[in-house]
Chains A and B, each alone.
Chain A
Protein backbone atom coordinates (compact mmCIF):
# COMPACT_ATOMS: atom_id res chain seq x y z
CA UNK A 1 0.00 0.00 0.00
CA UNK A 2 1.27 3.40 -0.91
CA UNK A 3 2.51 5.32 2.05
CA UNK A 4 1.69 8.71 0.65
CA UNK A 5 -1.35 9.69 -1.27
CA UNK A 6 -1.31 11.92 -4.26
CA UNK A 7 -2.24 15.55 -4.04
CA UNK A 8 -5.41 14.83 -5.91
CA UNK A 9 -6.61 12.24 -3.43
CA UNK A 10 -5.98 14.63 -0.60
CA UNK A 11 -8.12 17.18 -2.34
CA UNK A 12 -10.89 14.67 -2.63
CA UNK A 13 -10.92 14.31 1.11
CA UNK A 14 -11.11 18.04 1.51
CA UNK A 15 -14.10 18.01 -0.80
CA UNK A 16 -15.65 15.22 1.24
CA UNK A 17 -15.28 17.18 4.46
CA UNK A 18 -16.58 20.28 2.73
CA UNK A 19 -19.62 18.46 1.45
CA UNK A 20 -20.36 16.98 4.84
CA UNK A 21 -20.08 20.30 6.62
CA UNK A 22 -22.13 22.09 3.98
CA UNK A 23 -24.90 19.53 4.26
CA UNK A 24 -24.86 19.88 8.02
CA UNK A 25 -24.89 23.64 7.83
CA UNK A 26 -27.96 23.75 5.61
CA UNK A 27 -29.78 21.29 7.85
CA UNK A 28 -28.92 23.06 11.07
CA UNK A 29 -29.95 26.40 9.58
CA UNK A 30 -33.27 24.97 8.46
CA UNK A 31 -34.08 23.77 11.94
CA UNK A 32 -33.25 20.06 11.88
CA UNK A 33 -32.68 18.20 15.12
CA UNK A 34 -29.06 18.18 16.23
CA UNK A 35 -28.78 14.41 16.25
CA UNK A 36 -30.02 14.24 12.67
CA UNK A 37 -27.36 16.72 11.57
CA UNK A 38 -24.68 14.74 13.38
CA UNK A 39 -25.88 11.52 11.84
CA UNK A 40 -25.92 12.92 8.31
CA UNK A 41 -22.42 14.40 8.59
CA UNK A 42 -21.08 11.22 10.11
CA UNK A 43 -22.48 9.06 7.31
CA UNK A 44 -20.92 11.27 4.68
CA UNK A 45 -17.55 11.35 6.45
CA UNK A 46 -17.60 7.59 6.85
CA UNK A 47 -17.41 7.28 3.05
CA UNK A 48 -13.70 8.01 3.47
CA UNK A 49 -13.19 4.81 5.50
CA UNK A 50 -10.85 6.67 7.81
CA UNK A 51 -10.24 5.41 11.28
CA UNK A 52 -11.32 8.63 12.82
CA UNK A 53 -14.29 10.73 11.73
CA UNK A 54 -15.44 12.97 14.50
CA UNK A 55 -18.47 15.20 14.46
CA UNK A 56 -19.79 17.48 17.13
CA UNK A 57 -22.87 19.51 16.47
CA UNK A 58 -24.30 21.98 18.92
CA UNK A 59 -27.20 24.31 18.32
CA UNK A 60 -24.84 27.12 17.32
CA UNK A 61 -22.27 25.35 15.21
CA UNK A 62 -20.60 22.31 13.69
CA UNK A 63 -17.15 20.84 14.32
CA UNK A 64 -15.69 18.13 12.12
CA UNK A 65 -12.39 16.29 12.09
CA UNK A 66 -11.06 13.70 9.65
CA UNK A 67 -7.96 11.93 10.86
CA UNK A 68 -5.80 9.35 9.17
CA UNK A 69 -2.09 8.58 9.10
CA UNK A 70 -1.98 9.00 5.34
CA UNK A 71 -3.11 12.59 5.24
CA UNK A 72 -2.86 15.68 7.33
CA UNK A 73 -5.74 15.99 9.69
CA UNK A 74 -8.66 17.90 8.25
CA UNK A 75 -10.57 19.99 10.75
CA UNK A 76 -13.45 22.32 10.14
CA UNK A 77 -15.57 24.51 12.27
CA UNK A 78 -18.70 26.29 11.17
CA UNK A 79 -20.68 28.72 13.16
CA UNK A 80 -24.36 28.70 12.27
CA UNK A 81 -26.14 31.90 13.00
CA UNK A 82 -29.68 32.87 12.13
CA UNK A 83 -32.03 30.00 11.62
CA UNK A 84 -35.37 29.80 9.94
CA UNK A 85 -37.49 26.71 9.77
CA UNK A 86 -37.52 25.19 6.32
CA UNK A 87 -38.56 21.57 6.35
CA UNK A 88 -38.17 21.40 2.58
CA UNK A 89 -34.43 22.00 2.81
CA UNK A 90 -34.07 19.28 5.41
CA UNK A 91 -35.85 16.82 3.15
CA UNK A 92 -33.70 17.82 0.21
CA UNK A 93 -30.38 17.42 2.05
CA UNK A 94 -31.62 14.15 3.46
CA UNK A 95 -32.27 12.93 -0.08
CA UNK A 96 -28.90 14.07 -1.40
CA UNK A 97 -26.96 12.50 1.45
CA UNK A 98 -28.88 9.24 1.14
CA UNK A 99 -28.12 9.08 -2.58
CA UNK A 100 -24.47 9.95 -1.96
CA UNK A 101 -24.11 7.17 0.58
CA UNK A 102 -25.87 4.70 -1.72
CA UNK A 103 -23.50 5.58 -4.51
CA UNK A 104 -26.24 7.04 -6.70
CA UNK A 105 -24.47 10.38 -6.70
CA UNK A 106 -20.78 11.14 -7.00
CA UNK A 107 -19.14 13.38 -4.46
CA UNK A 108 -18.80 16.21 -6.94
CA UNK A 109 -22.42 15.99 -7.99
CA UNK A 110 -23.56 15.99 -4.40
CA UNK A 111 -21.42 19.01 -3.56
CA UNK A 112 -22.71 20.81 -6.61
CA UNK A 113 -26.32 20.07 -5.72
CA UNK A 114 -25.84 21.26 -2.16
CA UNK A 115 -23.99 24.38 -3.17
CA UNK A 116 -26.62 25.41 -5.67
CA UNK A 117 -29.58 24.35 -3.63
CA UNK A 118 -31.96 27.24 -3.65
CA UNK A 119 -34.21 27.12 -0.68
CA UNK A 120 -37.01 25.54 -2.59
CA UNK A 121 -39.81 26.99 -0.59
CA UNK A 122 -42.89 28.54 -2.03
CA UNK A 123 -43.38 31.93 -3.55
CA UNK A 124 -43.53 34.68 -0.97
CA UNK A 125 -47.05 35.69 -1.88
CA UNK A 126 -48.17 32.12 -1.43
CA UNK A 127 -46.61 31.93 2.02
CA UNK A 128 -48.25 35.17 3.09
CA UNK A 129 -51.65 33.96 1.94
CA UNK A 130 -51.10 30.74 3.85
CA UNK A 131 -50.31 32.59 7.07
CA UNK A 132 -53.67 34.30 6.85
CA UNK A 133 -55.44 31.05 6.00
CA UNK A 134 -53.67 29.34 8.90
CA UNK A 135 -54.82 31.97 11.38
CA UNK A 136 -58.43 31.57 10.19
CA UNK A 137 -58.14 27.79 10.11
CA UNK A 138 -56.83 27.52 13.65
CA UNK A 139 -59.72 29.62 14.89
CA UNK A 140 -62.23 27.30 13.22
CA UNK A 141 -60.39 24.32 14.63
CA UNK A 142 -60.83 25.71 18.12
CA UNK A 143 -64.57 25.86 17.49
CA UNK A 144 -64.80 29.41 16.19
CA UNK A 145 -67.63 30.73 14.06
CA UNK A 146 -67.28 32.08 10.54
CA UNK A 147 -67.09 35.72 11.64
CA UNK A 148 -64.51 34.85 14.28
CA UNK A 149 -62.33 33.25 11.66
CA UNK A 150 -62.64 36.38 9.53
CA UNK A 151 -61.27 38.47 12.37
CA UNK A 152 -58.51 35.93 12.87
CA UNK A 153 -57.68 36.28 9.19
CA UNK A 154 -57.35 40.02 9.75
CA UNK A 155 -54.95 39.23 12.57
CA UNK A 156 -53.07 37.02 10.15
CA UNK A 157 -52.12 40.18 8.28
CA UNK A 158 -49.95 41.13 11.26
CA UNK A 159 -48.06 37.87 10.80
CA UNK A 160 -47.36 38.81 7.21
CA UNK A 161 -46.33 42.32 8.17
CA UNK A 162 -43.95 41.02 10.81
CA UNK A 163 -42.39 38.71 8.24
CA UNK A 164 -41.86 41.57 5.81
CA UNK A 165 -40.51 43.71 8.61
CA UNK A 166 -38.13 41.00 9.73
CA UNK A 167 -36.75 40.60 6.24
CA UNK A 168 -35.83 44.24 6.11
CA UNK A 169 -34.59 45.00 9.59
CA UNK A 170 -33.65 41.64 11.03
CA UNK A 171 -34.99 42.22 14.51
CA UNK A 172 -34.92 39.80 17.39
CA UNK A 173 -37.69 37.23 17.01
CA UNK A 174 -38.87 37.72 20.58
CA UNK A 175 -39.50 41.39 19.98
CA UNK A 176 -41.51 40.76 16.83
CA UNK A 177 -43.47 37.97 18.49
CA UNK A 178 -44.33 40.27 21.33
CA UNK A 179 -45.34 43.10 19.01
CA UNK A 180 -47.46 40.85 16.79
CA UNK A 181 -49.31 39.20 19.64
CA UNK A 182 -49.80 42.60 21.27
CA UNK A 183 -51.40 43.99 18.11
CA UNK A 184 -53.56 40.89 17.71
CA UNK A 185 -54.94 41.03 21.22
CA UNK A 186 -55.35 44.81 21.09
CA UNK A 187 -57.27 44.97 17.82
CA UNK A 188 -59.42 41.94 18.62
CA UNK A 189 -60.35 43.58 21.90
CA UNK A 190 -61.21 46.69 19.89
CA UNK A 191 -63.37 44.82 17.39
CA UNK A 192 -65.24 43.06 20.14
CA UNK A 193 -66.78 46.29 21.44
CA UNK A 194 -68.20 47.29 18.06
CA UNK A 195 -71.97 46.90 18.33
CA UNK A 196 -73.30 44.04 16.26
CA UNK A 197 -70.03 42.17 16.26
CA UNK A 198 -70.28 39.05 18.36
CA UNK A 199 -66.95 37.38 18.78
CA UNK A 200 -65.26 35.51 21.54
CA UNK A 201 -61.89 37.18 22.00
CA UNK A 202 -60.36 34.01 23.36
CA UNK A 203 -60.87 31.92 20.25
CA UNK A 204 -59.83 34.66 17.85
CA UNK A 205 -56.62 35.51 19.69
CA UNK A 206 -55.68 31.93 20.56
CA UNK A 207 -56.29 30.85 16.98
CA UNK A 208 -54.31 33.61 15.37
CA UNK A 209 -51.45 33.29 17.82
CA UNK A 210 -51.03 29.58 17.03
CA UNK A 211 -48.49 30.19 14.28
CA UNK A 212 -46.19 31.99 16.72
CA UNK A 213 -46.19 29.23 19.32
CA UNK A 214 -43.02 27.14 19.61
CA UNK A 215 -44.22 23.91 18.01
CA UNK A 216 -40.93 23.38 16.20
CA UNK A 217 -38.85 23.97 19.31
CA UNK A 218 -40.96 21.58 21.38
CA UNK A 219 -40.80 18.79 18.82
CA UNK A 220 -37.07 19.12 18.27
CA UNK A 221 -36.37 19.41 21.98
CA UNK A 222 -38.11 16.11 22.60
CA UNK A 223 -36.45 14.32 19.75
CA UNK A 224 -33.00 15.57 20.71
CA UNK A 225 -33.50 14.61 24.32
CA UNK A 226 -34.60 11.15 23.28
CA UNK A 227 -31.35 10.73 21.38
CA UNK A 228 -29.61 11.65 24.65
CA UNK A 229 -28.36 14.96 23.34
CA UNK A 230 -29.25 16.81 26.50
CA UNK A 231 -27.40 19.95 25.59
CA UNK A 232 -29.47 20.58 22.47
CA UNK A 233 -32.61 19.32 24.16
CA UNK A 234 -32.44 21.70 27.07
CA UNK A 235 -31.38 24.59 24.85
CA UNK A 236 -34.49 24.10 22.75
CA UNK A 237 -36.75 23.77 25.76
CA UNK A 238 -35.47 27.12 26.96
CA UNK A 239 -36.11 28.48 23.48
CA UNK A 240 -39.68 27.18 23.58
CA UNK A 241 -40.27 28.81 26.95
CA UNK A 242 -38.82 32.11 25.83
CA UNK A 243 -40.98 32.19 22.71
CA UNK A 244 -44.11 31.26 24.64
CA UNK A 245 -43.33 33.89 27.26
CA UNK A 246 -42.86 36.61 24.67
CA UNK A 247 -46.20 35.76 23.06
CA UNK A 248 -47.84 35.67 26.47
CA UNK A 249 -46.48 39.06 27.43
CA UNK A 250 -47.72 40.47 24.13
CA UNK A 251 -51.23 39.11 24.59
CA UNK A 252 -51.37 40.30 28.17
CA UNK A 253 -50.26 43.82 27.33
CA UNK A 254 -52.67 43.95 24.39
CA UNK A 255 -55.63 42.89 26.49
CA UNK A 256 -54.79 45.21 29.35
CA UNK A 257 -54.25 48.27 27.20
CA UNK A 258 -57.23 47.33 25.04
CA UNK A 259 -59.39 47.25 28.15
CA UNK A 260 -58.27 50.76 29.08
CA UNK A 261 -58.70 52.19 25.59
CA UNK A 262 -61.94 50.49 24.60
CA UNK A 263 -63.45 50.26 28.05
Chain B
Protein backbone atom coordinates (compact mmCIF):
# COMPACT_ATOMS: atom_id res chain seq x y z
CA UNK B 1 0.00 0.00 0.00
CA UNK B 2 2.89 2.31 0.77
CA UNK B 3 4.16 1.73 -2.74
CA UNK B 4 0.77 2.70 -4.14
CA UNK B 5 0.71 5.90 -2.13
CA UNK B 6 4.21 6.78 -3.30
CA UNK B 7 3.03 6.03 -6.84
CA UNK B 8 0.14 8.41 -6.30
CA UNK B 9 2.49 11.10 -5.03
CA UNK B 10 4.78 10.78 -8.05
CA UNK B 11 1.91 10.55 -10.53
CA UNK B 12 0.12 13.60 -9.14
CA UNK B 13 3.28 15.69 -9.18
CA UNK B 14 4.06 14.61 -12.72
CA UNK B 15 0.50 15.41 -13.77
CA UNK B 16 0.72 18.80 -12.05
CA UNK B 17 3.81 19.64 -14.06
CA UNK B 18 2.02 18.85 -17.31
CA UNK B 19 -0.79 21.16 -16.15
CA UNK B 20 1.76 23.90 -15.52
CA UNK B 21 1.34 24.15 -11.74
CA UNK B 22 4.01 26.56 -10.45
CA UNK B 23 7.04 24.98 -8.82
CA UNK B 24 6.32 26.29 -5.36
CA UNK B 25 2.99 24.45 -5.22
CA UNK B 26 4.11 21.08 -6.59
CA UNK B 27 4.78 19.41 -3.25
CA UNK B 28 1.45 20.58 -1.85
CA UNK B 29 -0.56 19.20 -4.75
CA UNK B 30 1.39 15.94 -4.63
CA UNK B 31 0.73 15.68 -0.91
CA UNK B 32 -2.99 16.32 -1.44
CA UNK B 33 -3.21 13.60 -4.06
CA UNK B 34 -1.23 11.10 -1.99
CA UNK B 35 -3.28 11.67 1.16
CA UNK B 36 -6.56 11.32 -0.71
CA UNK B 37 -5.38 8.07 -2.27
CA UNK B 38 -4.26 6.82 1.16
CA UNK B 39 -7.74 7.50 2.53
CA UNK B 40 -9.26 5.66 -0.40
CA UNK B 41 -7.06 2.59 0.09
CA UNK B 42 -7.58 2.51 3.85
CA UNK B 43 -11.33 2.61 3.53
CA UNK B 44 -11.30 0.00 0.78
CA UNK B 45 -9.16 -2.31 2.92
CA UNK B 46 -11.71 -2.02 5.70
CA UNK B 47 -14.33 -3.48 3.40
CA UNK B 48 -16.15 -0.27 2.80
CA UNK B 49 -18.00 0.40 -0.41
CA UNK B 50 -15.87 1.81 -3.22
CA UNK B 51 -18.28 4.71 -3.63
CA UNK B 52 -17.88 5.72 0.00
CA UNK B 53 -14.12 5.44 -0.32
CA UNK B 54 -14.09 7.72 -3.36
CA UNK B 55 -16.40 10.15 -1.62
CA UNK B 56 -14.24 10.35 1.50
CA UNK B 57 -11.06 10.64 -0.54
CA UNK B 58 -12.51 13.52 -2.52
CA UNK B 59 -13.68 15.25 0.64
CA UNK B 60 -10.19 15.03 2.09
CA UNK B 61 -8.52 16.26 -1.07
CA UNK B 62 -11.00 19.12 -1.40
CA UNK B 63 -10.44 20.10 2.23
CA UNK B 64 -6.67 20.13 1.81
CA UNK B 65 -6.97 22.05 -1.47
CA UNK B 66 -9.04 24.75 0.19
CA UNK B 67 -6.67 25.00 3.14
CA UNK B 68 -3.61 25.24 0.91
CA UNK B 69 -5.32 27.69 -1.40
CA UNK B 70 -6.03 30.03 1.47
CA UNK B 71 -2.67 29.62 3.12
CA UNK B 72 -0.71 30.14 -0.10
CA UNK B 73 -3.08 32.60 -1.82
CA UNK B 74 -3.57 30.51 -4.93
CA UNK B 75 -6.68 29.38 -6.80
CA UNK B 76 -8.23 26.21 -5.37
CA UNK B 77 -8.11 24.48 -8.73
CA UNK B 78 -4.30 24.48 -8.71
CA UNK B 79 -4.45 21.79 -6.03
CA UNK B 80 -7.84 20.35 -6.75
CA UNK B 81 -7.45 19.33 -10.38
CA UNK B 82 -4.30 17.23 -9.96
CA UNK B 83 -5.51 15.82 -6.65
CA UNK B 84 -8.73 14.27 -7.97
CA UNK B 85 -6.92 12.50 -10.80
CA UNK B 86 -6.22 9.26 -8.85
CA UNK B 87 -9.91 8.82 -8.06
CA UNK B 88 -11.16 9.52 -11.59
CA UNK B 89 -12.70 6.21 -12.66
CA UNK B 90 -10.23 5.01 -15.29
CA UNK B 91 -10.55 1.36 -14.32
CA UNK B 92 -14.33 1.52 -14.39
CA UNK B 93 -14.21 2.97 -17.86
CA UNK B 94 -11.78 0.32 -19.02
CA UNK B 95 -14.02 -2.46 -17.72
CA UNK B 96 -17.10 -0.91 -19.31
CA UNK B 97 -15.43 -0.94 -22.70
CA UNK B 98 -13.86 -4.35 -22.11
CA UNK B 99 -17.19 -6.04 -21.43
CA UNK B 100 -18.74 -4.17 -24.30
CA UNK B 101 -16.19 -5.73 -26.63
CA UNK B 102 -16.75 -9.19 -25.17
CA UNK B 103 -20.47 -8.68 -25.63
CA UNK B 104 -21.45 -9.08 -21.99
CA UNK B 105 -24.30 -6.59 -21.75
CA UNK B 106 -25.00 -7.11 -18.09
CA UNK B 107 -21.45 -6.38 -16.96
CA UNK B 108 -21.24 -3.45 -19.37
CA UNK B 109 -24.26 -1.88 -17.76
CA UNK B 110 -22.97 -2.64 -14.29
CA UNK B 111 -19.59 -1.01 -14.83
CA UNK B 112 -21.05 1.86 -16.81
CA UNK B 113 -23.36 2.83 -13.99
CA UNK B 114 -20.54 2.31 -11.50
CA UNK B 115 -18.28 4.65 -13.46
CA UNK B 116 -20.99 7.28 -13.49
CA UNK B 117 -21.59 6.82 -9.78
CA UNK B 118 -17.91 7.30 -8.98
CA UNK B 119 -17.79 10.45 -11.10
CA UNK B 120 -20.90 11.63 -9.27
CA UNK B 121 -19.27 10.94 -5.90
CA UNK B 122 -16.27 13.06 -6.89
CA UNK B 123 -18.68 15.81 -7.90
CA UNK B 124 -20.60 15.66 -4.62
CA UNK B 125 -17.40 15.61 -2.59
CA UNK B 126 -16.06 18.77 -4.21
CA UNK B 127 -19.51 20.32 -4.05
CA UNK B 128 -19.91 19.80 -0.32
CA UNK B 129 -16.47 21.08 0.60
CA UNK B 130 -16.91 24.15 -1.61
CA UNK B 131 -20.24 24.89 -0.01
CA UNK B 132 -18.83 24.47 3.49
CA UNK B 133 -16.03 26.90 2.79
CA UNK B 134 -18.32 29.37 1.06
CA UNK B 135 -20.86 29.45 3.85
CA UNK B 136 -18.73 29.27 6.94
CA UNK B 137 -15.71 31.24 5.89
CA UNK B 138 -17.51 34.11 4.26
CA UNK B 139 -15.56 36.77 6.09
CA UNK B 140 -12.37 35.60 4.54
CA UNK B 141 -11.51 36.53 1.04
CA UNK B 142 -13.39 33.55 -0.36
CA UNK B 143 -14.34 34.90 -3.73
CA UNK B 144 -10.72 35.18 -4.67
CA UNK B 145 -10.06 31.57 -3.88
A6–chain B nearest beta-carbon distance, Å: 33
Q: Which residue of B lies closest to A27 (CB)?
A: B75
- Residues on A with C-beta less than 8 A from B19 are 85-87, 216
Query: Cβ of A91 and Cβ of B97 under 8 Å apart?
Result: no
Count of A-B contacts judged by CB separation below 8 Å: 169
Task: State whether the Cβ of A175 lies closer than 8 Å to any Cβ in chain B.
Answer: no
- CB proximity to B under 8 Å, residues A17-37: 30, 32-33, 36
Q: Bound state CA distance, A88 and B96, in angstroms?
A: 35
Q: Bound state CA distance, A92 and B98, in angstroms?
A: 42
Q: Bound state CA distance, A247 and B17, in angstroms?
A: 22
Q: Which residue of B lies closest to A42 (CB)?
A: B143
- CB proximity to A under 8 Å, residues B120-134: 122-123, 126-127, 130-131
- Number of A residues contacting the other chain (C-beta, 8 Å)? 63
Query: Cβ of B20 and Cβ of A219 under 8 Å apart?
Result: no
Task: State whether the Cβ of A231 lies closer than 8 Å to any Cβ in chain B.
Answer: no
Choose among B11, B88, B123 the residue that contacts A137 (Cβ–Cβ < 8 A): B11
Q: Bound state CA distance, A36 and B80, in angstroms?
A: 15
Query: Cβ of A207 and Cβ of B84 under 8 Å apart?
Result: no
- Residues on A with C-beta less than 8 A from B98 are 202, 251, 255
Query: Cβ of A216 and Cβ of B81 under 8 Å apart?
Result: yes
Task: State whether the Cβ of A89 lies closer than 8 Å to any Cβ in chain B.
Answer: yes
Task: State whether the Cβ of B71 lies closer than 8 Å to any Cβ in chain A.
Answer: no
What mask results when residues 7 to 44 of chain B are scored 1 for a CB within 8 Å of chain A, else 0?
A: 11011111111111110010000000000010000000
Query: Cβ of A120 and Cβ of B11 under 8 Å apart?
Result: no
Q: Which residue of B lies closest to A210 (CB)?
A: B90
Query: Cβ of B77 and Cβ of A141 under 8 Å apart?
Result: no
Query: Cβ of A140 and Cβ of B11 under 8 Å apart?
Result: yes
Q: Bound state CA distance, A216 and B96, in angstroms?
A: 22
Choose among A119, A140, A219 the residue that contacts B7 (Cβ–Cβ < 8 A): A140
Residue ranges of B at the interface with A (Cβ–Cβ < 8 Å): 3-4, 6-8, 10-22, 25, 37, 73-78, 80-82, 84-86, 88, 90-91, 93-98, 100-101, 119, 122-123, 126-127, 130-131, 143-144
Q: Can you give 26 A-B contacts (C-beta < 8 A)?
A: A39-B144, A87-B19, A87-B75, A90-B75, A90-B78, A91-B21, A94-B75, A119-B20, A120-B20, A130-B15, A134-B14, A136-B10, A137-B10, A138-B11, A138-B85, A138-B90, A140-B10, A202-B98, A209-B93, A210-B88, A211-B18, A213-B85, A218-B122, A219-B77, A219-B84, A222-B123
- For the A-B complex with A91-B25, A215-B85 known, give 5 more contacts whose Cβ atoms are closer than 8 Å: A86-B20, A149-B7, A219-B77, A219-B81, A219-B126
